[in-house]
Amino acid sequence: MAVVGKDKQAGTTEQPRSNAWPAWFPPLVVFLLTVVACLPALRNGFVNWDDDWNLLENLRYRGLGWAQLRWMFTDLSLGHYQPLSWATLGLDYLVWGMNPLGYHLTSLILHGANAALFYFIALRLLSAAFHKPVVSGEISVRAAAAFAALFFALHPLRVEAVVWATERRGVLAGLFFLLSLLCYLRAHGTSEGGQKRKWMVAAVVGYGLSLLSKASGIALPIVLLVLDVYPLGRLGGGLRGWLSAEKRQVWLEKVPFALLGLAAAALALMAGHKAEAIRGRGEYGAVIAIAQPRQER
């Protein structure tokens, strides 16, 4: 089956698939290697770093009834607004009870999915940078994308989000963040107006779901602008070129993202103040204020 479409600036022409290397094989390998590498997380149990407050002593998230959902979508007391993360933890409770293995298994699967998504994002970015077809059997581009995905997935900075039950919000927000980014790249990898609009709507929805999981992805609109400069090539010609009338659409399409980001920032600030998570620098010494400007519970 051939998919025809080309964004001249992005250089991400989609061509018929080649059977030389099945398209599903590299992301499957990335997913499996990520899961295998992180399997020890299943033995981690709950820890006394917020798991006690958020899970062991918190009865309000346990289930997906109306009372639990109302609390999830209105609570700011723990320093984060994360209703979707609470919903996945509520589902874990229904399936696993208070067995920590199930909670870690869900986070592990989400992290493996994130790694596979990162592969597809890297594939599109590399294809745009080197002007290669997105859908092709070229081994070098796919191998580079797989390496990038594994570097992301197995980097030590990913450990905390996978092995710490409370940080479900990190892997879940990452899932929707990466989905939003991939949809944005898909939107600008085709010249078909209807398809482009659908992918853009999906990108905005994904961003909103990410922010409902955790506000850490708030900077996505800036990331999209960076990608518009390179490798998509939608913004060029210096500052004057960026502000030209023909580039107006590039800026206008960021408005929904910006509005969602501002709303998430306001909620995060409210949650931080309510939990006393954000404190004035005068309460600490200079060294502590710089090293740990925010305390989370």
Rounded-to-integer distance, Cα 189 and Cα 195, Å: 10
pTM over 0.95: no
C-alpha separations of 156 from 37, 199, 295, 297 in Å = 11, 32, 22, 22
Three-state secondary structure readout of 83-112: HHHHHHHHHHHHHHCCCHHHHHHHHHHHHH
- Pick from 114, 87, 103: nearest CA to 164: 103
Tens-digit pLDDT profile for the chain (297 aa)? Answer: 333 344 444 445 454 454 456 788 999 999 999 999 999 999 999 988 889 889 999 999 999 999 999 999 998 877 889 999 999 999 999 999 999 999 999 999 999 999 999 999 999 999 888 877 666 557 888 999 999 999 999 999 888 889 999 999 999 999 999 999 999 999 988 777 789 999 999 999 999 999 999 999 999 999 999 999 999 888 876 666 677 767 888 899 999 999 999 999 998 888 777 665 444 444 545 555 445 544 444
Backbone angles phi, psi at 78, to 5 degrees: -100, 15
pLDDT at 3: 39
* Domain regions of the chain by residue span: 25-291
